[in-house]
Amino acid sequence: MKQWYMVIDVAKCHDCNNCSMADKDEFVDNDWPGYTAAQPRHGHRWVDILRRERGTYARNDVAYLPVPCQHCAEAPCVEASNGAIYYRPDGIVMIDMAKAKGRKELVDTCPYGAIFWNEEAQLPQKCIFCAHLIDDPTWTPHTTRCTHSCPTDAMATYLVEPEEMAKIIADEGLEEYLPELGTKPRTLYKNLYKFTKDFITAGVLVGDDCFGGATVTLHSREGGIACTLSGAGVANCQDTSVLATRVTNFFGEFKFDGLNNGEYRLEIDAAGRKYSTEVSVKDESVNLGFIKL
């Protein structure tokens, strides 16, 4: 059966908060019988936007990560709720307002922090994937309000078979946020590395001038040289430690992004002027400043 999925491109999110404002417009002071009670005016962010700054001035950036309900296929909230939270056949995770009444403890069952407590209604609440709109044939965009309101197309929804979504995931390089939780979310991310991983960057100077066109090679510390012999007995050797190469731009700058924590080695060749250094990445990006050759 077809399932609903949301895809969010971290590279396209500029923290405009149109998604959050559209969510407020749709749910604050609006009851949707059979779906959810009105959202309180304050205290709830059904589309929360996390922020992370990487690097140091002047080689730094900021990434924004919208986190709505992940509509997990193996949702901890469903497992803990004794029927108060349930899966729709199309994959949307819903809260039964009658069964969840007064059950504030359900707020803490979501490892993403996507469930909020409505004190006035005495209900746990969260993003419902605009199910009331999805089910309305007159709602012509046939998508969520947050997606419809995104000016950069950072958000998209899909109603597809799981097999088709698996192909989209592979083709687009989509990832789960916090995959170690094992919840199998139906909200997936593109360019997630901008929020979850780090980079190494620097500028290369020859004399006092920026040097464009220098070759910079990133090595892992674990690699080495691997050789194979051809039929003629000729050795073909490759440096298996090489992870990537870059060429410095007009300003002499380079950047290796999407790095995990670990130990790396940089090698720079600027028209025969060479330089090598060890770099450690541990939960933050590294700006090496200017490297003079």
22: phi then psi, degrees, rounded to nearest 5 = -65, -40
Mean pLDDT confidence for 228-243: 61
Residue 230 has a pLDDT of: 54
Q: Is the pLDDT confidence value at 233 over 90?
A: no
The C-alpha torsion from 193 through 198 and 200 to 202, rounded to 10°, is: 90
Mean pLDDT confidence for 141-149: 96
Q: Go through 215-244 and write b for each residue having 16 or more CB atoms within 10 A of its CB, e for each that does not.
A: ebbbbeeeeeeeeeeeeeeeeeeeeebeee
Mean pLDDT confidence for 271-293: 96
Q: What is the chain written as a DSSP string? A: --EEEEEEEGGG-----HHHHHHHHHHBT--BTTTBPPBPSSS--SSEEEEEEEEETTEEEEEEEEE-----TT-HHHHHTTTSEEE-TTS-EEE-TTTTTT-GGGGGG-TT---EEETTTTEEE---TTHHHHT-TT-TT-S-HHHHH-TT--EEEEEE-HHHHHHHHHHHT-B-SSGGG----SEEEESTHHHH-EEEEEEEEETTEE-TT-EEEEEESS--EEEEE-TTS-EEEEETTEEEEEE--TTSEEEEEEEPSEEEEEEEEETTEEEEEEEEESSS-EEEEEEE-
- CA distance to 8, 41, 135, 251, 281, per residue, from 70 (Å): 11, 22, 19, 41, 29
Q: Is the pLDDT confidence value at 258 over 50?
A: yes
In this prediction, residue 227 has a pLDDT band, given cuts at 50, 70 and 90, of very low
Domain boundaries, the chain: 3-195, 197-292
Residue 224 has a pLDDT of: 55
In this prediction, residue 226 has a pLDDT band, given cuts at 50, 70 and 90, of very low
CATH architecture of 197-292: Sandwich (2.60)
Give the tens place of pLDDT for each residue, 38-91: 999 999 999 999 999 999 999 999 999 999 999 999 999 999 999 999 999 999
d(CA 242, CA 236): 16
Give the tens place of pLDDT for each residue, 97-109: 999 999 999 999 9
d(CA 184, CA 164): 16
Residue 231 has a pLDDT of: 54
- CA distance to 42, 54, 192, per residue, from 38 (Å): 12, 37, 32
Q: Pairing between strand 3-9 and 187-190?
A: parallel
Mean pLDDT confidence for 245-264: 97
Residue 221 has a pLDDT of: 79
In this prediction, residue 223 has a pLDDT band, given cuts at 50, 70 and 90, of low
Q: Does CATH number 3.40.50.300 belong to domain 3-195?
A: no
